Structures are given as C-alpha cells and as structure tokens.
C-alpha cells in the first residue's frame, strides 16, 4: 500500500466511503427485513401485470426537496388492477393503509394471501370472487391460489 | 491540539484497505441462477452483497429513516420478484441501483408528499479511547459534514463512486443520466469542493507537505 495524502482523489474517495459507512450504516433491521422477503417464494407463481393504477397521473407527483409538506389534504383509496391471461384482480387499497378489498375475475372461490414484508394473512373469496383483508401497513402483494396455478401480483407500495 | 498528519495518513491507509477500496465483485451470474431456483442462501448472499449499494443509493432522496428502510426492503422485493427477467445478471449492481431509485420515487409518489428528513445521520462512534482515535473521529465527522453540505448532484455521484460493489462509469452514467465523458470532470469538481469545505480545510492543510 502506497502513501496517500488528502490531495489524492482515490484516497479521499476511500476515506469518504469509510466515513459514510460509519456515519450512515445499513441498519440491521433493514437487512433482516430484506432477508425475510427472500424467504417468500417467487417460484411457481405467475407474476400478474399491472394494467391500471389510480395513482398514475396523480397531479401530486412532485419531487421538490425545498419544501416540507406534512400530508396531502384528504387521503384517498388507491385502485389497482392486475392481470394474467387467466385471471384479473381489482384491488382497493384503502386510505387507512391496512385494509384491502378486492375481487377476482372470472369469479371463483379460492384462497388468497396478502403478504407484507413481515406478515401473511389469508382469506377465502366468495362465489363472486370478492374478498376483504387487513394487514399491517407497508408494501404488500396478493397471492391467488387459482385452480390453474398460483398467481402473484407485483409488490405494491402503499 | 489540532491535527497530527501522521494519524490522518494512517486513516487514509485504513480507508484504502476498506472493502470499498476494491474487492472483487461476487459472481452475480451464479448467485442469480441459484436464486432463480429458489436457493435461499443465494438470495441472502445477494442481500449481503448489494445492501450497502442500495442503502447509499437512496441516501439523498430526503426520505425519513422509516421510509428509507421501507424502500430498501422494497428494492429487494423487486429483485426477487423480477429475478427471471434480469437478462444480464453480471450487471446486477447497476440494475438494483436503478430499481432502488425508482422505488424511492414511487414511495414519494404514493405518499403524495415530500418529507425532508431532518433526522441526524451522525451516529456517535463508540469509545474513542486514544488521541489518535479522537483525531480519526474528528476527520470522519468533518468529512461527513462537508459531504452533507455538497450540492445533491455531487452527493449522488460521490455515493455511487464509493459504492460497493463498484459501479462502472457506464452504469453511473445511465443511473444519473449524465454523459459518460462528464463523470470524470464532475468527480474532480465535487472532490475539489469537498476539499475546500470549511470543516475539512484544517485537515487538508495539516496533511499537506
């Protein structure tokens, strides 16, 4: 290892790297959460595609870093639709951040799992394909145990 | 006592030995292949190998600590969900840095708000037992303070340049939508700004012959 002085760019970058790691380390909780996600199966389920999202086109889409806004006025539900060639699912992600109401078409009575990064809750759809679930807040996805094979939605940020 | 240059030199050397100083990239092609078959250890190894890159990539979005952790986990959600669609696994670091940035934007959009984090990023280093350690800590804190005062484009670039695993200029160019040829000069300009920051100046002057 040769000598460094502070006018050396690579040395300064190396020092900065160490400084960032010490001042702003990756929290152990975050790593645990990411590893918990790794345990959820992504194999053997068909990934549904997002086909509609009430959030897209939202005029509140602002990335200003010079202002602080505590919240938007009225929190509202978010409606999203996912599809595979076999099944469609409409989800109403309610404004409380916990409740998800949905329906699958064609209508069928099957098990659906709502997964979050730390939890999974299951419900049975009724004969019209409807279901109602409540979880902890945070990102989630729905797994549908359809007769032809499992379908899973992409992770949804809420 | 202000600053003993030898301590600074020792610190520079220690930093150069730090992993970000240049260990080889893990074999991402192999890890992705195993992970695609559901190998849990391979998935966890991907988390280990990419955690630092993801965490620092989303460090300058003004996210609160909770939101930053959420985006961090969400980025790995996206990775495992999309494993089958990744065409060039050897370029995974660039892919995941892009994904992390997109997830940060998505979260800000879903909240319909911008939260500027005023939580202190500094963490007290424990047990500075000797003068040397005290100096080391002073240098690091000063450097970090100077870094935080840089313009955002400099912070983003320098974070990516210190990322582990290393990103190529080509990957950084895509991530920041910055022409390849301007990365070098911008890096130079940002480092010069860092050096001339008031917090850091005493250390530089002390350290120069």
Q: Which tens digits make up the pLDDT trace of B105-140?
A: 888 877 765 544 444 444 444 444 456 666 677 778
Which tokens is B177 given? 């939508």
State the average pLDDT over residues A131-141: 91
Q: Does A59 touch chain B (CB under 8 A)?
A: no
Q: Does B133 touch chain A (CB under 8 A)?
A: no
Write the CA distances from A39 to A32, A46, B38, B207, integer angstroms: 11, 17, 9, 49
Q: Which residue of A has its CA nearest to B42?
A: A38
Domain assignment present for residue A17? The answer is: no
Most confident of B3-12, B120-129, B139-148: B139-148
Q: What integer pLDDT is reported at residue A71 of this predicted model?
A: 45
Shortest CA distance to B20 belongs to which of B184, B163, B143, B172? B163
Decide if B123 and A71 are in contact by the 8 Å CB cutoff: no
Taking the CA atoms of residue B101, residue B106, residue B108 and residue B112 in that order, the dihedral angle to the nearest 10 degrees is 160
User: Interior CA angle at B133 toward B129 and B139, to 5°?
Assistant: 145
Q: Measured between alpha carbons, how far is B32 from B89 in angstroms, rounded to an integer?
A: 7
Decide if A14 and B20 are in contact by the 8 Å CB cutoff: yes
Domain assignment present for residue A127? The answer is: yes
Domain assignment present for residue A105? The answer is: yes
Q: Does A63 touch chain B (CB under 8 A)?
A: yes
Burial bucket for residue A100 (CB in 10 Å: 0-12, 13-18, 19+)? buried
**Where is pLDDT greater, at B205 or B39?**
B39
Is pLDDT above 90 for B54? Answer: yes
Domain assignment present for residue A13? The answer is: no
Q: For residue A102, what are the domain limits?
A: 44-152
Decide if A42 and B83 are in contact by the 8 Å CB cutoff: yes
Of A6, A20, A38, the CB nearest to B144: A20
Q: Which residue of B has its CA nearest to A138?
A: B70
Most confident of A87-91, B18-22, B23-27, B65-69: A87-91
State the average pLDDT over residues A6-24: 87
User: Interior CA angle at B46 toward B98 and A43, to 5°?
Assistant: 95
Domain assignment present for residue A25? The answer is: no
Is pLDDT above 70 for B4? Answer: no
ipTM: 0.75
Query: Which residues between 71 and 100 in chain A have a beta carbon less than 8 angstroms from any beta carbon of chain B?
Result: 71-72, 78
Structural domain count, chain A: 1
Domains of chain B with CATH codes: 28-111 (1.10.1740.10), 130-207 (1.10.10.10)
Domain assignment present for residue A89? The answer is: yes
User: Do B100 and B57 touch, CB atoms closer than 8 A?
Assistant: yes
pLDDT in tens, B162-193: 988 889 999 999 999 999 999 999 999 999 99
Domain assignment present for residue A135? The answer is: yes
Domain assignment present for residue A4? The answer is: no
Is pLDDT above 80 for A4? Answer: no
């Amino acid at each position: 290892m040769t000598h460094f002085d502070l006018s050396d760019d690579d040395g300064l970058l190396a020092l900065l790297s160490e400084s960032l790691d010490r001042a702003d380390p990756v929290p152990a909780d975050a790593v645990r959460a990411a590893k918990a996600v790794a345990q959820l199966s992504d194999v053997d389920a068909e990934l549904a595609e997002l086909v509609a999202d009430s959030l897209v086109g939202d005029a509140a889409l602002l990335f200003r870093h010079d202002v602080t806004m505590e919240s938007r006025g009225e929190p509202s539900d978010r409606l999203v639709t996912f599809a595979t060639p076999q099944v469609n699912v409409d989800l109403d992600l309610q404004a409380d951040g916990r409740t998800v109401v949905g329906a699958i078409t064609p209508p069928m009575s099957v098990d659906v799992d709502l997964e979050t990064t730390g939890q999974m809750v299951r419900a049975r759809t009724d004969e019209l394909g409807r279901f109602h679930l409540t979880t902890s807040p945070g990102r989630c996805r729905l797994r549908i145990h359809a007769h032809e094979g499992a379908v899973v939605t992409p992770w949804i940020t809420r | 006592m202000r600053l003993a240059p030898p301590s600074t030199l020792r610190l520079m050397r220690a930093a150069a030995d730090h992993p970000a100083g240049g260990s080889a990239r893990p074999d991402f092609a192999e890890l992705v292949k195993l992970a695609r078959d559901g190998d849990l250890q391979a998935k966890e190894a991907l988390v280990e190998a990419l955690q630092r890159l993801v965490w620092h990539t989303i460090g300058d979005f003004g996210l609160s600590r909770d939101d930053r952790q959420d985006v961090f986990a969400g980025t790995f959600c996206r990775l495992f969900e999309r494993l089958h669609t990744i065409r060039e696994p050897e370029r995974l670091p660039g892919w995941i840095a892009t994904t992390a940035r997109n997830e940060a934007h998505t979260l800000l959009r879903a909240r319909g708000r911008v939260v500027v984090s005023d939580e202190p990023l500094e963490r007290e280093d424990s047990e500075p037992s000797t003068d040397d350690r005290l100096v080391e800590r002073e240098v690091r804190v000063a450097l970090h303070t100077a870094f935080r005062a840089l313009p955002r484009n400099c912070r983003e670039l320098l974070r990516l340049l210190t990322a582990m695993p290393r990103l190529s200029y080509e990957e950084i160019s895509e991530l920041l939508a910055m022409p390849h040829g301007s990365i070098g000069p911008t890096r130079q300009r940002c480092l010069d700004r860092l050096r001339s920051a008031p917090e850091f100046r005493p250390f530089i002057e002390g350290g120069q012959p």
